[in-house]
Structure 1
Amino acid sequence: MAETKTHRITVAQRPLLLSWSGITDQGRRRETNQDAFLADYPLFIVADGMGGHAGGEIASQSTVARLQAVVSSGKVDGPSIENALELAVGDIADHPETTDEGTGTTLTGVYFDSDGDESRWIALNIGDSRVYLLRDDRLVQITTDHSVVQELITAGKLSPEEAEGHPYSNVITRAVGASELTAPDYVSIDVRAGDRFVICSDGLTKELTDYGIQHFLREHHDPGAAVDAMLAAALENGGRDNVTLIIVQVTAEEDSSSPIENTAE
């Protein structure tokens, strides 16, 4: 089973426990895995690389490496993330195996932001990987895809049903490294006990509907068990792409029996 890690936080003088787990798989049809992820408190990120030869793998891994350095610095916020992305763009462009002008990566995830008495989640997104939130037993997509299909849906020219299987379904309009630097979209979310985030590449959402994601969250409370179950289902349903996902959940500490590996106030 995928490993579940934990970290104690305090929000409005109330102790809460964060638990998370992440997993990535090549899938059943791809020759390589061009996805990468980072699950290291307080930042949880999925990157889905694209580009010929080894380009996609280079783009996603370079971006995750730069963001890991941000976590190690102890200062995770919008400016530090955007500075890391600028450095990653340079890494991608300078890499000797990166020759495809279309090389780049999506980037999506959440980070925990605490400033004095105020705490929040910040979701960020570039591309068509997604962040979902299960709150009060209702699953909501927090991020908006940067894709041709989503633009058509927003313009009222395409229904969500028509979008499934659309010939441009894989065409994204924003990425890290594909062109000049693009800043992420940000969404601020309040912190509540019981919340569960799913951060995933489109390799998961190609194979599982929103209903399916919600089903596995209901069936498996432990994040490690839930990511294992979702990955198995995605592979069973075809595994047409690399599959990467992270689950992060917030629990009232008095309601959790999980061991605490890392603590912070």
Structure 2
Amino acid sequence: MTGPDQTPDDGTDPDSPEGRGGAAGVLPAARPGSGRSGLDRRRVLGAAIEFIDEEGLDALTMRRLGSRLGVEAMALYRYVPGREQLLDGVVESVIDELYGDPDVHLAASHGWQDYLQRLAHGVRRIALAHPEVFPLVATRPPAAPWVRPPLRSLRWVESFLDTLIDSGFSEESAVAAYRAYSSFLLGHLLLEVSQKGVSISPRDQPEGVRQAAATTDLSEYPTVVRLESLLSLDESAAEFEEALENLLERLEVVLREGRTPQRGDAGS
């Protein structure tokens, strides 16, 4: 597992593409000029991810993506009905890289803490490989708009909740863990990519939320649906206060011991 204690001797960040030998996990894109016969949905999404990585999200249009693929923009509508659906597919494809990451386990075979640590580093690897794409993970309208925090990938939420419940968490504590974990992880990583000059502002409109909810079969996520009443609660104020208190307790340890914060202090 790639973790904070496995930083290479040269100081390279082990979660960065450089620390992974240049691996970014981008889906294969059709080569420019390959024409309509070389297209399928997977290649269109791969080209969109590649385009956003290189040019930024604001530069992405169906016309420009079509030009990169060597086709007219209209040819793309066979695979994605429009830009909004294209962005949804981009998010789902990037998140799916988690399921191809050998260091991310889909079950807590070595305990729930190991599962969460592996997942966190897997998500961070995605953020560092695709900093221009990553803000979409947290800002695209969720198919279940009552999920808080509103993470786009219900597959991720479902897997997270199932794994923690199977590890002995009650439904209430599993939802609380999801809130705390995803808020920390996404908040930290959004700040990290923003330091690279990436815009974090959401670009979604209410219509996008309605479309997302209307086009997703929630029967694929029975745990998310069953826990709707818990996931829809807004506990932001209490969670902020708890996180602040935990931080102050950590700083008290730092003050008492007269040293700089260490990685292990998070659990103090």
TM-score surpassing 0.5?
no
Normalising by structure 1, report the TM-score: 0.27
Q: Which structure has more RCO (C-alpha within 8 Å, separation ≥ 6)?
A: 1
The structure that has the greater radius of gyration is: 2
Which of the two has greater strand per residue? 1
